[in-house]
Structure formats: structure tokens, C-alpha cells
Structure 1
Amino acid sequence: MLTTVTLVDGSVLDLAAWPLPEGMEDGTLNRAQLARAFSVSENTITKWISQGMPVMSDGQNGVAYEFRLRHCYAWRMERDARARAAKAQGDRLAAQAALAFRNLDEDQAEEEAELTADDLKKWSEAEYHRNRVAEQRGDLVRAGRMRELLEELMVSFGNALDTLPDFCELNFSLSAEQVAKLQERCDAARIDARARIEAALLRPGEVVAMGAQKALDL
């Protein structure tokens, strides 16, 4: 008895892995009969053919399609199994991403490690709506908007640092050596401030709270 079937895409269908249910007789069916056997419409059968379901003979010139029930059953079962596996993999990836995007600390991650993908999906949806409401109230601001604001502040901050050594030299009679040291200090402060801002804004999934930090501790 034939145990494998080569499909139109070149893949091999293992018939032994998906035997007909006990007591079900194998046979050759036309399109309408196969649709009735699977409790679907003939349009669905046509769609399955386009998706690679095995066909014994193509329908043409008034000749009906012919299908082997055993082959079509195995194809459908394997297709459904692959769909379930793909969904399970997607759920696992979604769960991992949800944990990562939530920026949980170690204690939180351990505590919530047993949450199902459905639990995390519901939590994420609720969190999204909470953030939207908070944003509309002005309690939260998007990172992109915060970046624009901080860029403007950095320009103002940088201009102040640029003029600070000259200001101190004129008003406090600093020596050239003191001015040079002050300039080095200002340059270092500018670099550190920008690095800290960029690091904060590049955290995945983060929503920056207005007023929660004083200009990111600058």
C-alpha cells in the first residue's frame, strides 16, 4: 500500500502519519462528494486544490475532478497540524516579546514567567488602553515627542556650556589654565548628557512619563 504522496510543491506527504479514522473506508470521490465528506463547500475544495491538496485527476472538458479520500484527509490533517504548530510558535514569541518589551526586572520576570500567551495578550491590550488614556490626559508622552523636546533642550544646554568658560573668565578673572579645565568639564558634561538621553529613549517599548524624571537626571 502506498505510504507517501508527493505534492505539487515537491514536499512528501506521509500517509501513515495521518490514517483515516477507524471504520472509515477509503475511496475515490468527486468534488461534491469530497466537500460533503469534509462538511465544507465546493468552493473550499477548490481553494484547497490551489493550496496543494492532492488530486488524482484534474477536471477538464466535462470530466470531474477525482480525489483519493485517504490522501486528502492526510493532507488536511497535516496542514492543520502545521497551522497549530505555527500558532504555538507565534504565541511563544509573543510571550517572550511581551516580557522583553515590558522591561520587567528579574523579580517580576520570575513571578510572571508562568503567564500564558493569552494572559500576556490580555495584559498587553489593557496596558495599551491605559497608556492611551494616560497620554490623552497628558500624563504620558511618546518617546518621539520627548526626543524632540530633549533635542531642543540639548541645543539650549549646549549653547550655555559653550559660553560658560568665557563668562567665567570675564567675570571671575580665571587664568588660561582654569578656563581650559572648565571647557573640558563642559564638553564632558555635554557628551554625558547626550549619551544618557539616547540610552533612555532607545529602551524598547518605553513610554516616558512627564515629570517623572527631571530632564532624565541632567
Structure 2
Amino acid sequence: MSDQPLDIEALVKAYPLPEGVPDAVLNKTEVAEFFHVSEPTIAAWIRDGMPFVEEGTNGRSYKFMASQCWAWRQSKKAGEEQQRSEARAAIEAMRLKLIGGEVGDTIRALPPKERQQLYDVEAAHLKLCRERNQTLQREDVSEVMTEVLRLCRDGVNQLPDVLEREVNLGPKAVAVAIQHCDTVLEELYQTIERYFADRPIVTREERADLFN
């Protein structure tokens, strides 16, 4: 957590809520639903500095402003993206320096001999990574994740019935359990979909520059 005090007003102005989304006072459960994450994640964000309008104590829930939470989260994501971009730029600049290229060069900008050398190095590196089990085929990962999700789905879907049968859980509690299980499954699917969406398959010739 940063020692610098947050300028909440400036954050909200820089990162307003999406158009059509009204501001509102939310509790922790509602903030988790707002961001489609779990309550433990919200607890971690609070420790990391997410602003609140009223601190939770025994018998009293945390209270948050949707606009403040949204602005804080967008600011954090922007900062993380900037750090990744700066690190990537430094790595690319060093690699380009080693082969005499310039920032923004594409694979096709290299002479045929240098282009083939780059392909050969890349292929050798990938082969070594596969031999060490440091990389997996996208299809294999997708297959494993599909199977894991199937097991999670089956187990979660059976949980309310098990609770009702084994511990005589009442109808209202069963309904709550079903809703929570549905939320967990939806979060799992959304997380995996975002993961693959952020990592589209890109061919060598489509890459924006030599090492992107």
C-alpha cells in the first residue's frame, strides 16, 4: 500500500464511472458483485488501499462509494499496465540493440538472412522450453482447463443438494447456496475467457514489432 494519501476527488474525475452507471453506496458483498470478484479479493484490495467511506467493525459493514472504488481500480490497472509497458520497452530496446534493429521494425523489415536467424533462435528457444515442460500448447491448456471447470461445475452444482440432504439445510439457505455457487462458476468462466481474450494467437508476420 502506498504511503501517499489518495486524492479521491482527482481519481474519480480521471476515471469516472462508465456512462449510464449510477453512483451508489455499496457494502463489501455488493462491491464484489460490482466487480465480479470474490469477497476475499475485495478484502485484499482494501488492504492495498481501496477507499471506503466507512470502515467495517464488529457488527458494522464496510461502506463504499461505487465511483471511488471504480476510479481506484482503474488507476491501479493503468499503473500496472504502464509498468509492464516500460519493462517490455526496455527489453525490446536491448534486444533490438543487439541485432541492429530499430524500435517499430517488423519481422519483414529484417534482411532475409537475419530474419531466418531470428526464427531459428526463437524455434530453438521454444524447443528447449518444451523439453523442460516450461511451455504448453494452447490447445492442451484449454483441454485441461475445460476438464477442471467440468469437475468444478459438477461439484458446485451438487453442493446445495448435499447440504439439503446431509445437514437438513432449509429451502431459503439452499437458494442462497445455489446463487453463490452460480456466482462462483460465472467468475471462473469469465476469468478464463478474459485470460484467452488477452492472449490472442498472433503469427510471426502479424506481430507489431520484432519482439512484441
Could you tell me the TM-score, scaled by structure 1's length?
A: 0.46
Could you tell me the TM-score, scaled by structure 2's length?
A: 0.47
Greater fraction of residues in strand? 1
Higher relative contact order, structure no. (Cα contacts within 8 Å, ≥ 6 residues apart) = 2
**Structure with bigger gyration radius:** 1
